[in-house]
Copies of this chain bind each other. A is one copy, B any other.
């Protein structure tokens, strides 16, 4: 560390001056227009580098009436799901010459709302909201001013486009998987008001009903965080009968729930099976080996960006696309024990034994770690 800072950045005018040409010519060169003689081009670029000239984006965007920028609102930087979706958005946007500006909502509607205001004030050409929890009406209002697409949450009856997975079907896959393993008492720790939480919850309930398990269905409140998963599991332990399986609204919650189960001296999956949702990198960690429902996160991000950019350029309308989820079986689910009720149920954290599945690894279809 030491010091030095510029006084005032050079402008187009400065460059034009020392290159001995007009401002318009410099402008053309900066946007590398083909209709410039190579001689002029050289003189301009020379002058520019000599001055350390850098076009002022604000001035450019103000004059051009577009920004070639898309604002991306991420609900929770702590959840790897968002990183993975963002990669997809990034690559697709870059391919079309668009820049990204990211904002973090920190799972707080107030901050999400403010971030949207900033995007609008910055006149971004389009907005992608990922896992956004804001009311549909709010998003629809934003969509009045600029094209918006939502990832991870459908917004029917609004002008907001969406790319989601079929959450209800994903929930069904999870429940059916557990059912086939012999589980009946299957609980669900939900995602509260989070994006996609509702269809996952109703998908769970519907499937339980279809399987004739309505009386055994049990939903506890969560919010897509690890802490919520832990709290949810604690809640289950406080109940009369313990479930033999837990289906959580996302991977983060699943990890929280597993911790609690093991802390209670029970084993996953021998005593209680757990299925997550998302198939984030977290689930894929071999050390966690979470059975979960895969969402094609990267592809979802890419699809959202492509749809948005097409809409911006009037090459297509916003729509609602739903991608197929799939079951990824790893090591947190196993055949239900004979006894409906797990054997041990010590309260204190006796030495925690995490054994491998007794059965040989069931189709360890380790999907791409993204």
> Which A residues are within 8 Å of any B CB, using their own CB?
1-6, 9, 52, 54-59, 61-62, 67, 77-78, 80, 82-84, 86-87, 90, 99-104, 106, 117-118, 120-123, 143-147, 155-162, 226-227, 255, 258-259, 262-263, 281-282, 285-288, 317-320, 351-356, 369
Contact = CB atoms under 8 A, between A and B. Distances in A.
A237 to B, nearest CB: 15
Contacts of A84: 78
A101 B287 CA distance: 35
Given A1-B318, A5-B146, A354-B354, A100 B99 contact: no
Contact of A285 (B90, B161, B255): B255
Copies per complex of this chain:
2
Contact of A263 (B156, B282, B286): B286
Contacts of A288: 287-288
Given A80-B80, A101-B101, A353-B355, 7 more contacts: A5-B147, A9-B145, A57-B118, A57-B121, A58-B61, A262-B287, A353-B356
A128 to B, nearest CB: 14
A55 to B, nearest CB: 6
A153 to B, nearest CB: 13
B58 A62 contact: yes
A1 B57 contact: no
17 contacts: A1-B159, A1-B160, A3-B159, A5-B159, A56-B121, A57-B122, A58-B61, A58-B123, A77-B87, A78-B83, A99-B118, A102-B103, A102-B104, A258-B287, A262-B287, A351-B356, A354-B355
A1 B285 contact: no
A360 B77 CA distance: 35
A145 B160 CA distance: 39
A161 B55 CA distance: 26
Given A77-B77, A77-B86, A3 B122 contact: no
Contact of A58 (B82, B101, B122): B122
A331 to B, nearest CB: 9
Given A77-B77, A86-B104, A1 B161 contact: yes
